[in-house]
Structures are given as structure tokens and as C-alpha cells.
Amino acid sequence: MTEVDVQLRGVTHQFANGDTPITALENVHLAVPPGAFVSIVGPSGCGKSTLLRLAAGLLTPTAGTVLLAGQPPAQLRAQKQIGWMAQRPALLPWRTIRENIALPGQVNRHPGAALSEGAARSPDDLLQLVGLAEFAHAYPHTLSGGMQQRAALARTLATNAALWLMDEPFAALDELTRERLAEELRELWRQFRPTVLWVTHHLAEAVRLSDRIILLSARPGVISGEIPVTLPHPRDDTASAFQAVLRQARAILQAGGNGRV
Ligand code: ADP
């Protein structure tokens, strides 16, 4: 099994933006061990997506270093070890769900090369796993938003990526679908054990899903706190222990930022 840890060392990122550069992130230090599920939370514009794009190697930091399994992100991208999910599932509209999932073209090809359990799964197995077996031959536009994100999830699994970078993939879904998918995603993570960086501005979702929450302050984003979450799964958001973590996170965000979260 490929294990990918994520290291950000003194990472600053500035966007040129004409004459007035924007510092999106400042001196961020982050160490995420292999197989961890870590949420990055903070108000809009605090640099969460920037952090994720830096981790993916889609942006190069102005200062500092990003290392994935000790290598520059481009290296891991070239090895197809990075799975990416965004708010809108980027499914190809002219391909069926099954064809979209088969697209990464790696399923069954590198058994043992990446994730242990994920390595040998066929597109049909993956469709089954995400509850879309009956919709294999449907086209993306005929499915609901939640089903499209399930398909995108199956495609992420099909890449056998050891690192999942997820930029609010459930943000456009209604609350109930969002909660259900969060539970399913957590279960898939348990089976496949990738390293996950999960960006959200939804605090309860971060508490529900992750082992550790990294809190970013308003721009320029600096890490204002970290909270380990050790509650058992599935997590009950009405439980007092859950609410206590939520309060702790909210207090850090309000002290370190503009309190809009
Ligand atoms: P978040 O994901 O937390 O909402 P982003 O990482 O998208 O925040 O953005 C952080 C800050 O950087 C914001 O103020 C945003 O306007 C700015 N920003 C993001 N991308 C660019 C860009 N390509 N050029 C200029 N500024 C940008």
C-alpha cells in the first residue's frame, strides 16, 4: 500500500493580482500522517482552496515547501496518486456513469500499486460500493446532484489514489443528502485508507468526518488552531461530546478570525 503523508513547511502563497498582491496563506506548517482524515476549516476566502491546490501541485508556493510522501506534488500527480473532488462533479456529459468511472483506466491495472483494498476493484464493483449499480448506463445529467457526487466518488476510488484532496464536494447538496454521503464517504475511507484533506466551511461536517480539524483564520490564512477528534463513528451531532468539539472549534475561529463561520 502506498502511504502518503502531507508536509507543508512555512508555506506562504501570494497571488499577483495587479498592483495589490493578495496573501492567501502565510507561514503555514502542517504535517498530516498517512491515512489520516483531516479537515481544513475557515471562513470564505481564508485560503482553504489555495492550500488544497498547493497540495495538489496546481500552484507553487511563494515561499516554503510542500512535500507529499517526501516528494514534490508534481511527482505524485505524475504517478496518479492524487484524487481530486470539487463542489461540482466533473463528469463527462457524453459518457455514461460507468464509462466515467472506467475513465481513469487504472482499475485492475496496477494491483498492489496503490491502495490495498481498492487496487482490484472493477468499475462495476465501484458502482455497487457507491450505490449506483442500477445507474451504470445513465448519463450524468439524468442523475441528482447527490448521485453525481457518488459517481465522482467512485471515479476517485477508481484512480486508486492514495491522497484525496476534497474541496467541499458536498457543498451544493441538501443537508440530509450531505449527511448521508458524509457517512458513506467515511466508510469508504475506512476501507481504502487514503490520506484525506477535506476542505469545508461547514464546522459540523468537519467534526462528523475527521480525525483532526485544522482551523484557518481569515485572510491571510494562518493556522489558528488544531483539534483532534476522537469521538467514535458514526458520530451523533446531538451528543454533548460532539457539541463540545463544535463549541471549541467555533471559539477558536471567532478568536482568530472574523467569526463568520
Ligand atoms: P477559500 O477556499 O478559503 O474560500 P481561496 O483559497 O479560494 O479561499 O482564496 C483565498 C484568497 O485568495 C481569497 O481572498 C481569494 O480572493 C484570493 N484568490 C484566490 N485565487 C486567486 C487568484 N487566482 N488571483 C487572485 N486572488 C486569488
Q: pLDDT tens, 155-166?
A: 988 888 999 999
The 10 Å Cβ neighbour count of residue 144 is 11
Query: pLDDT digits over 219-261, tens only?
Result: 788 999 999 999 998 899 999 999 999 999 999 998 875 434 4
Task: Among 46, 223, 224, say which to mutate for ligand 1: greatest number of ligand atoms within 8 Å of CB.
Answer: 46
Which residue has the least CA distance to atom 14 on ligand 1?
45
Question: Hey, what domains does the chain have and what are their CATH numbers?
Answer: 6-255 (3.40.50.300)
CA atoms within 13 A on the CB side of 217: 15
Cα distances from 75 to residues 10, 153, 193, in angstroms, run 20, 23, 21
Predicted pLDDT at 120: 53
pTM of the predicted structure, to 2 decimals:
0.89
Predicted pLDDT at 59: 96
Query: pLDDT digits over 110-133, tens only?
Result: 444 444 444 557 899 989 988 899
The answer to whether the peptide bond before residue 220 is cis (omega within 30 degrees of 0) is yes
User: What mean pLDDT do residues 72-92 have?
Assistant: 91
Query: From the alpha carbon of 47, which atom of ligand 1 is closest?
Result: 6
49 Cα to the center of ligand 1, angstroms: 7
Predicted pLDDT at 11: 97
Please answer whether residues 140 and 151 qualify as being in contact, where contact means their C-beta atoms are separated by less than 8 angstroms: yes
Cβ–ligand 1 distance for 59 under 6 Å, the answer: no
Which three cell numbers, joined as nine digits, stand for 184?
458513506
Query: pLDDT digits over 95-106, tens only?
Result: 999 999 998 764
Cβ–ligand 1 distance for 50 under 6 Å, the answer: yes
Task: Among 50, 60, 198, 217, say which to mutate for ligand 1: greatest number of ligand atoms within 8 Å of CB.
Answer: 50
